[in-house]
Each structure stands twice: as C-alpha cells, then as structure tokens.
Amino acid sequence: MRKTTAILLVFLLLLGLVHPTDSFVSAMYGTKTIDGNLNDWTASDLIAVGQDTGLAGANLDRLYVAWDDQYLYIAIKTNNTEHWNTVLGVGIDIDPGTGNGYVGADQDGDPSNGFEDIWWRNIGFGGGYAIDYELYFWYDSGNQRIGGGDFKHWNGNGWDDVGIGNVKYASSPDPSFGTVELAIPWEALGGRPEKIALIAWLAGDGAHSSAIDTLPVDPDVDYPTAGDGEWTDGDILTSLAEISVAPKTIDGDLNDWDTSDIVVVGHDNGLAGANLDKMYISWDDQYLYIAIKTNNTEKWWPDYGIAIDVDPGSGNGGTTDPWAKNIQFSGQFLPDYIIYAEAQNGEITWMGMHDWTGSGWGSMGNVKDIGDYAYVGGDQGIQTIEIKIPWSALGGKRSKFAIISWIAGNNDGDSAVDTLPIDPAIDYSNINSEWTDQDILTNMFLCEWFLMADLTASITGPTIAGLNRTTEYRVTVKNLGSLPASDAEVRAYVNDTLISNWTVDLGAGEERELTFTWKPNETGRYTLKVTVDEDNLIEEANEDNNVITMDVDVVWVGKIEVDGNPDDWPTAELSNNTYDVVSGTFIWKDAENDHRTDKDIYLSETDYTSSHADLTEVAVTKDDHYVYFLFKFRNMSNMKLGANGATFIAVPIDYRDGGKAGRFAGSMDTGSVIEWDIQMAVNLKCSGCTGDTAVMPAGNSVESMLYFIDPDNNIVTVNGAVVAVNLTANTVEVKVPVEVFGGATKFSFQVATGLSWGGGVWNFGDPFNDDDISDAVDVLSDKPTKDEVLDGYLDYYIKIETNGIVKEANAVDYTLVRRKMELQEFWGNFIALNRYYGVWHFKNDYERYLELREYFENATLPDEIAEKVREYEDTVTDLLKLYNEGKESIDKGNAAFGASLKIFRAYTGLKRVLKEMEALKVTVEEGNFEKLQHLEELSKNLTKTIDGNLDDWSVPQVAVDEAGYGQDGADLKALYVDYDDQFLYIALTTENRASWRIAYGISLDYKDGGYTGDQDSWGKKVSFSRGIDAQLYFFWNGEFFGDPGTSTITSAQLVLWNGTGWEYKDLQLVGFYAYTGGAEDGLQTLEIAIPWEALGVKPGEINIVAYVTGQGAGDSAVDSLPLQDAVKDTEPGQEWGDADTFTQFATVTTE
C-alpha cells in the first residue's frame, strides 16, 4: 500500500473542467422544472461539452439530457455574449442504427441547393443515424427572446407537424438563447423507446444555411476556425449522442448500457482473475442500477464488494468491512450499505447486502430477495455483474450518493487488490502485496440526481389505543426532493375529522417530526389519516405519496396497559427458579443462561445469540376483563421484529375438563403433560413485522404476532386479545379476554420459547421433519432446559387460582408421575406382547427353521457352508431351551416379566438366525459360492493388499480437499485411483471427527451414454453433467439422532446402468473392499478393488467423482472429491436435502 495522503478525485469537478468523453458522461432519470434555470441539472445529466467557436453569438457550451416516465428533458447552455439572429435545432432518432428516418431530402426542387430539413437548412444526417423528429427555435435579437419554434415528424416521404405547443420550453435572458430547457412528452414521440440518439446545433437565420456549432461536437463542423464558409457549407451530422431511456434488464449482458453510463474506468493491475475494468451507474424512479465489467481471463475465487454512501459528507456510515476483510473507510465517504458477492470457479455463488446499523453491520439477506442481480462468468472468470437495488432498500431516493467497487481475496483478513474508482490505497506497482495488507478506502464516485420537492408523511404510534386514555402519535414529514418546499400544509384526521394541522418549511432532504395526541371516548376501529400539501399548492415530483393512513383499535384498558412497558407490573425479590404471588400477581423468576444454545452459530439475523429467547421472568395477573401475561427476556436488543430466529412463545392453558395433552405450538416437537384446552402463541418472526416495538391484536394465521390454537391445531379466533412488544425493554405483554376461560377460577399453564422461522420454530433434531427431539430453547421449569426436555416433554407447569385477581399459585413437576406411569405401561405391554406375539412368532419361525434345516441336509454343500449350518443348529437348540423356560413361567405373577424377557430373546434370536439361513440358501441356489470361489482365485492376482491400509499405494491423489471443507462426520480428504490389467483400484481418506449415519458414493463414467438424471441408484438427489455408467455405494451405520448404530459398513454395492435402469450387485460377490474407522471418528479409509470384468470393459479413460450423502432416500450430497459448488451452494445445514449436480470429475487414463 502506498503510504501517501489520499487525494479525493471529485468527478463532478472533472466533468465540469474537461471535455467529457464517452467514458465519463451519463444521462440519468430525473424530473426537471422548465424555467430556463439550470440549477436543477447536475453533472450526471451532462451529455456533451462544446468546442469554443470564437463566435460571440453562436457558441454552444453544454448539452444535458434527462428523462422520466412522461418526458424527455433537454437543456442547452451557450457561451453567447451578443444577440444574434440564429436558429437552434435539435434532431432526435428514436431507433438509432435502423436507418429509418430523415437523412437528407431535396425540398425546394433545386438539386444545386443540396438538401433541406424542416426549416430548409442544409443539414443532413449519417453514420447510421436518421432522425425521426426535428425541433427548431428562432432567436429574435431585436426583442432579445425566442421568437417561436417548430416540431415535426418525418413520415418517410416528408414532414408531418407535431406542434410546438406540445413542447414545454423556456430560456434565460442571456444573449442569443443563453440557456434553453425543453420538456418533450414521450407521447409526442410515439411513446418511450429503449434508446434514442440526439444532437443540437446552431445555424444561420436564412434558408440554405448550415450548422455553425453542434453538441456533441461533430466532425463536419470546421473547428476552431468556424467562419463565413461554415455558415453555408452544408453538413452531414454523424456524432449524435446515444442514450438509453429504459430500465436496465438484469441479465448480465451489458448491451443495454451505453458508453454514456460508464462512470469510471479502472487501472490494469495485471491479475488474471481479479481485474476490474469499468463501472456503470444508472437509475430510474424505482431502482439504482450498478454494473461492473472486468478484464478477467482466469476463474479465480475472489470476493466482489460495492459500497454505497447515501449521505456523503455527513460523517454517518461504517468504517469497517462486514465480511471481515482488512478494508476500512475514511474521509468524507462512509458507506451506509455494502454488497458482497462470492465468486467460485467462474460463478457467483452468493450475493448479500448489509446495512450499517450505527454500531455495526446488519444482514439484509440475499440481493435476489431485495432487488436482483445477474452475471456472466465461465472459464475466464466473472466477466460482468449487473445489480439493481430498490431505492426503498436504500432508505428512499437520494439526490446525492457515492459508490465504490472493489475486488478482494475470499478469506477473512484479505484486502482489496483493485477498485473502481481507483483509490490511493491500492499500490498497483506492487500488486501482489495487496492481497493481505490494510486498505483504507477514501475515494468514491459521487452521483447527483436533482429531485423536485417530493413530500411524504408517515405515522408511528400504537395501533391499539386505550379507551379514555391519551395516546400520542408521531408524524414524520420529509422532503425527498432536491428543491425546498415552503408553507407545506400538514393535516391529521381521525375518521376524516381534522384533529391537528401544521405549516412547515422543508429544505431538500429535510424531515420534521410532529406530534399530536388523541383521547378516544368510544371503543371501536378508527382510521388516522395524515396529508401533506393536500391542496396541491406545491409542485412535486410525485403527487401520489401525500396521504398516509393507519387503523387504530380503541379498547377498554384495565389493571395493566398492554404497551410493552412493564412498569405497571408489581415486582418481587426472588431466587432463581422460584415464585410468589404479590399484589394479586403471580411472579416467576427464571434462571438466566439456562437455555439451549445449540443453534446460536446459525442465528445470523440475531447477532449469533439466543439471549432473546432466554426467559428471566413470567408473570400472570387478572382483572374483571382480562387475564394478563408478562414475559421478560435476558436481552432482546440483538434482534428486530421479523428477524429469522426471532422469539417464539408457546403457552398451553388448561382451564376445564376434557382437554388433550397435546404438543406445543410452532411444531416445537415438545409434549405437554397438561390436558390443555387452548394454547397461546407469540411469534415475533411475524409476517410484515419490523422495528423494535409493536402493539397488535390476535390474528388468524400462524404468522400473526399473536394467535391461538385448539388441541387439534386449529386456529381459534380470540377477539380482544392483544400482544405488545418492546425489544428495548426485553418485554412481551399479552392480554386475553376472561371470556376465553369460560368463567373458570382455576387454570394451569406451561411456557416454552423457541426460535421462529415464520411458520414454526427451528428444529433441534431432524432439520426437515418433526421428531421426538424437543425444539424448545427455554422453558418455565426449576431445571435447565436441556435436562427438562431431554425426553421430549415439559413436565413442569403452574396451577393458578383466581378470585378476581390471582389468589394462589402452585408449581407441579409431573416427571416422576409420568415416568412411573410410562414404566408400568411398558412392563404391561412388554409382558402382553411376548405372551401372545412372542409365542406366536417363535412357533411360526421354528417351523420355517425345520424346513430350512431339512433343505440344507439334502443339499450338496461346500465344507465352509456345511460348518455354518451346524453352528445354526447349535444356536437354535439353545434358543429353544430359553423359549420353553419362558413359556412355562409367563403366567406366574412376579416371574412374568423375567419369563417375557426369555421369550423375547428367544424369538428375536431365532429371527436373526432365519435371516442368515435364508440368505445362505439364496447363495447356494444362485451358485454364489461359485462366485466366491472365483473371487478367491481372482484375489491371487491383486497387486495391492485390500485391507484398508494405504501404505502400499504410491500413486498421487487425483483429488484432494485443501480448503478443509466438510462437517464433523462427513469430511472427505483425498481420492486415489490406480489400476492394473485385471483391476481398478480406488481409495478414499477422510478427516471425520464423528461417526454419523451416512452413505459414501463413487460414480464412474467410462463409456458413451450413461445416467445423468435426478435421483441415482440409491435414490439420492444427485445428478451429473456426464453420463454415469457405474456407481459404488457404501452405507456407514453410524449415530443417527440418538441411535448409536454399529459404526461399520453394513451395505456395499456395485450398481451398473444398463441404458434403461440399474443392476445391483453385492460388492462382496464381485469385488473387494476393506476399511478402517469406528465409533469415535467414523470411516477413516476405504480401499476398493473392482475387476474390469465386473465393469464390462477396461476403458482407456475413466472419470470419477466421490461424495458423501445423507442416510435416506431423497437426501443429497454434503461433501465431494473433487470439491465443487454443488455441495457448497447452501448453508451446511441445508445441504443435506437440496438437489446437487456434479460437474467436476477426476480423469484417469488407464492405457
């Protein structure tokens, strides 16, 4: 990095001082006031700068162009100092490049005069341009003003009058036009096209004169010695400015970006895969558009960053980098938003947007969910990136903003190696040292957009107000435009009755906060309305955003005001996990940090902590109208309403006989021990929720902030129930009408919290399905949550007794009762099961055993199989003895349980023997022992010892994971391939640190055709860019949600594609394999030898990919060799169930 003072290049000044080239001009969306004053035109609108003609009354200076949905705006500035009789012309080509339009025509019938335009000036057009519309104005030097004008359309043979009256125009009092502004309706131009080309010129006041000056400067005008000959020489104008006047299409193709959209050009840093070329910027009424073009020629893995400062010079914004890069920001430009894109192998795998919260960077999510992006990539890396961001995501339209883009390494601590615009922090003379140095970026490209006055209003305040309570509402009035607004009238109404009004002055970008109070005297629903400039006395860019409304429910307010403020609740000094009844209120103090934190590492939207779901207090009270609940949490400032992973509270309530001991709401996979009648659920990942505070009525959806369900999981409508949240106060309050309790004076309730994803809570067990593993984060209990819900039940509950207030409360721990009942039920069921079904199974299976024994006695068997049959006979003799002992005692009272165990062991043991004997019978019938004998002969030709030990392997790896990608029980390290005349040898190594229940797959492409489709031979959601001819699959029977498994390979198959389907072969009958590993660290090595004859051919080349999948059908891959995007395109926890397409293979030549 250069240790020099950063010099801020203010591009606006550069644009004003130099002749703008195609690389440094831009025409943008914007509305203009047509008054002859150019103070609403910015450098972003500048299209062309003229060349000094030296003529005091015919000297064009600057051409500006802008557009909005209704008009094309053109402004022309001259450097004239004398009043001359000249004419000003403007030619517009609405379909440049087509050749349709006027290029020149003889209108006076005298070919010697050349061609004539609408005012018979000798001006034509070429270079691929043919104008469709022409405007003219003549200057009356005697009266020193524009004397009139003309506006016509070329119909193919001549000119049709459009009417100058359709054009708004104005000029300044300066000599000879001075400055001229035009507003031409798109309607008058036949509608708004995608692109136009235009040029302006000055000509003499007589027929057959020609252009003396043009904007843009045209080569057919003789500069700098324009004189008498230039007035009448005849000109073919070819330097029209092309301007896009349509929203950009986000597809990665920059064809709809003009050179006029280029704002900066980069410096070639010499890096083949990290080289920025150009940055484009454009905008319209809805979106900011940004495009990046690179000079990449190789596909590296860099990260692309874009910073946006929406209030340059204010000192507001971030100084750090949200992706932990060694990048900082300083000076007048501090970003408020940063976009980061991750590139891998010529593809963008993720693009996210971050906002500066005032103290750090927040995540706004994927740019696809905010606006849109597209790119062009491939073997030469990322070539282009296009992005559109709604102005609403940037806090509204901004009249001034600044942007910088950069490219950096993909690791934490890396820094920038290229920027647009060029920043002094990048030392291009020593670029290889730039990857890991520290960069303090100080330079951004400054954009200005003139916005007319644009007044908006918003209301904030409670959506539920108390009857006869004074409620305050805040009105924020803002001027989004670039012009001040004076004497703006602001009015507030309740049901169209004026309640307050103000008159305010607002500068450009200024906002004012106003307040009014309201004290309703009747319950019901009211509409608050605020208007700004209701009488349309102020000219605005947008007249459709001057009215805002909000519905407010007025309700009776009793003992507690449900507003998120806990100050009206009584307090008590209590020890952890104890309770008391104080002033008619039950209060429970919950221990802090006793919640489950397993999911904290995934909580990106709540600062990677679940403190917002860690209960510290639960309180309940009552008055004549409502039962009130208070929930306090350790710290809720880490989240916003609507955040993924926000607080979820489930409260089952039992107030009468006949309920059901069902499950907790939100699919929490937690059982309740009370027979509840109704359940209350608070969901702070509610639909449409934002901010830190809210007061909301109960809804009728699981995505409502408050809802109720019955024991059958049906939504129950509860009118009058209200929830209030104040994240700053760490508080949730709920009030429930007493009618819900049906007049009961006693009720029981439980409390559990979770992490909401919107329609339910995050799973702690199976990521995709309900199971018996509780998803509760914290519970009301005297035990830590992980202990309380270990068996999937919440046994702790509170019993409340009321008499107008809370009179008494008692805590009940149902654990011992439930477990005793479960054990008794298990014993009874176990004895009954074996008394009837155990006896029945043993009798039936013993008959089948006798049949199989007879079969083997009559068959000719190899010695090793005959020996195995004798071992089965001895085992069954022992099982028969055990069965008879159990059967004799099964009805003898206290001996029944021991007897049932004997029967259970006897019939389950016999089933295992039968299974093995049936398989042995198949081996005999199919002649598989012959296959085994053949394999034994083949094994003598093996050139490697297949024992799981790779010491005898000398070939290099064909694929290796150098990045350390993988998960504890699914982490591939290296893939080896070797061969000889008779065998293909394959070996895998892992870096597993746990034994998980998973499948290892190896897919081979070695001949034409093959399988590519959606689910492979084991039903995994994997597909292939190459046709697969064979697959090897191994099932590792490790731990799976509490079931320890065997930590061995329990199934191994070679599966061949026959063109229409799969043929399955037991690998131990056609090849060889061995492995190392166990319960502590899963599979460690896997060694395989497959005879070429089993594959049907010894090919000249084989392509191979290895991968790890989940244990079930429908699972997908989570790691692979070669490592590729297919297993990295979602979060690791989501990879198990997505769909993967493998595009990268290791290629081995076998000739």
Cβ atoms of 763 and 772 within 8 Å: the answer is no
The pTM (predicted TM-score) of the whole model is 0.47
What pLDDT is attached to residue 824? 60
Going from the C-alpha of 1085 to that of each of 105, 1018, 1124, the distances in angstroms are 84, 22, 21
Distance CA 732, CA 721 (A): 13
Cα-Cα-Cα-Cα torsion 1057, 1062, 1067, 1070, nearest 10 degrees, comes to -60
At residue 25 the predicted structure's pLDDT band, cuts being 50, 70 and 90, is very low
Q: What residues contact 446, with CB distance under 8 A and at least 6 apart?
A: 10, 11, 12, 312, 400, 401, 402
Distance CA 1113, CA 963 (A): 29
- Residue 741 tokens read as 């309790």
> What angle (nearest 5°) sits at the alpha carbon of residue 483, between those of residues 478 and 487?
65
- Residue 710 tokens read as 């019955």
What pLDDT is attached to residue 735? 96
Give per-residue pLDDT as tens, 1081-1097: 999 999 999 999 999 99
Distance CA 1130, CA 1030 (A): 28
Most confident of the following: 222-236, 413-427, 815-829: 413-427
Cβ atoms of 794 and 685 within 8 Å: the answer is no
> What number of CA atoms fall less than 13 Å from residue 1134's CA on the CB side?
9
Distance CA 1100, CA 1085 (A): 27
Going from the C-alpha of 198 to that of each of 95, 258, 900, the distances in angstroms are 11, 14, 97
Report percent pLDDT > 90 for the chain. Answer: 66
Give per-residue pLDDT as tens, 703-761: 999 999 999 999 999 999 999 999 999 999 999 999 999 999 999 999 999 999 999 99
Q: Which of 205-209, 455-459, 498-502 has the lowest average pLDDT?
A: 205-209
Q: Torsion-angle region of residue 365: left (phi > 0), alpha (psi -120 to 50) or beta?
A: left
What are the E-state strand segments in 634-745? 646-654, 671-672, 678-683, 693-697, 706-709, 715-716, 722-726, 731-737
Average pLDDT estimate for 29-57: 88
Give per-residue pLDDT as tens, 594-631: 999 999 988 999 999 999 999 999 999 999 899 999 99
Contacts of residues 916-919 at CB distance under 8 Å and 24 or more positions apart, as own/partner, are 916/872, 917/849, 917/852, 917/856, 917/869, 917/872, 918/852
Amino acid type, 422: I
What are the E-state strand segments in 702-776? 706-709, 715-716, 722-726, 731-737, 746-749, 752-756
Give per-residue pLDDT as tens, 1024-1082: 999 999 999 999 999 887 778 889 998 899 999 999 999 988 898 889 999 999 999 99
pLDDT at 441 over 60: yes
Distance CA 1105, CA 1115 (A): 17
Average pLDDT estimate for 55-76: 93
Distance CA 902, CA 799 (A): 45
Q: For the chain, how far is it from start to end, CA to CA, in angstroms? A: 52
Give per-residue pLDDT as tens, 675-684: 999 999 999 9
What pLDDT is attached to residue 9? 29
Distance CA 757, CA 956 (A): 46
Average pLDDT estimate for 173-186: 91
What pLDDT is attached to residue 823? 58
> What angle (nearest 5°) sits at the alpha carbon of residue 388, between those of residues 382 and 390?
155
What are the E-state strand segments in 1041-1127? 1049-1057, 1062-1066, 1072-1078, 1082-1091, 1101-1110, 1117-1121
Give per-residue pLDDT as tens, 988-1014: 999 999 999 999 999 999 999 999 988
Distance CA 623, CA 805 (A): 6
pLDDT at 886 over 70: yes
Distance CA 194, CA 612 (A): 51
Distance CA 465, CA 458 (A): 18
- Residue 407 tokens read as 């490219």
- Per-residue DSSP letters for 596-629? --TTGGG-GGGTT--GGG-EEEEEEEE-SSEEEE
User: Can you count the helices (H) and strands (E) in the chain?
Assistant: 10, 69
Report percent pLDDT > 70 for the chain. Answer: 95
Q: Torsion-angle region of residue 735: left (phi > 0), alpha (psi -120 to 50) or beta?
A: beta
What pLDDT is attached to residue 480? 82
Distance CA 229, CA 231 (A): 5
pLDDT at 180 over 90: yes
At residue 1131 the predicted structure's pLDDT band, cuts being 50, 70 and 90, is confident
Going from the C-alpha of 756 to that of each of 258, 633, 752, 768, 980, the distances in angstroms are 46, 15, 12, 14, 57
Cβ atoms of 414 and 326 within 8 Å: the answer is yes
The DSSP H or E segment spanning 887 is: helix 863-889
- Per-residue DSSP letters for 473-506? EEEEEEE-SSS-EEEEEEEEEETTEEEEEEEEEE
What pLDDT is attached to residue 421? 97
What pLDDT is attached to residue 19? 32
Distance CA 489, CA 546 (A): 11
pLDDT at 808 over 80: yes
User: Whose CA is closest to 205, among 61, 80, 89?
Assistant: 89
The DSSP H or E segment spanning 817 is: helix 815-832
pLDDT at 660 over 90: no
Cβ atoms of 617 and 586 within 8 Å: the answer is no
At residue 816 the predicted structure's pLDDT band, cuts being 50, 70 and 90, is low
Give per-residue pLDDT as tens, 188-207: 999 999 899 999 999 998 88
What is the SS3 assignment for 810?
strand
pLDDT at 45 over 80: yes
pLDDT at 6 over 50: no
pLDDT at 226 over 60: no
Distance CA 137, CA 158 (A): 20
| Mean pLDDT over the full length of the chain | 90
Q: What are phi and psi of 856, to 5 degrees?
A: -70, -35
> What angle (nearest 5°) sits at the alpha carbon of residue 922, between those of residues 921 and 924?
65
Average pLDDT estimate for 857-871: 82
Burial class (CB in 10 A: 0-12, 13-18, 19+), 408: buried
What are the E-state strand segments in 98-245? 123-125, 133-140, 145-154, 159-161, 168-171, 179-185, 195-204, 211-215, 235-237, 241-244
- Residue 801 tokens read as 């007794």
Contacts of residues 190-195 at CB distance under 8 Å and 24 or more positions apart, as own/partner, are 190/94, 190/132, 190/153, 192/67, 192/69, 192/72, 192/245, 192/246, 193/94, 193/95, 193/245, 193/246, 194/244, 194/245, 194/246, 194/256, 195/95, 195/96, 195/242, 195/243, 195/244, 195/245, 195/246, 195/258
Distance CA 410, CA 342 (A): 7
Give per-residue pLDDT as tens, 288-345: 999 999 999 999 999 999 999 999 999 999 999 999 999 999 999 999 999 999 999 9
At residue 43 the predicted structure's pLDDT band, cuts being 50, 70 and 90, is confident
pLDDT at 476 over 70: yes
Distance CA 1059, CA 1010 (A): 7
At residue 27 the predicted structure's pLDDT band, cuts being 50, 70 and 90, is low
Distance CA 531, CA 534 (A): 6
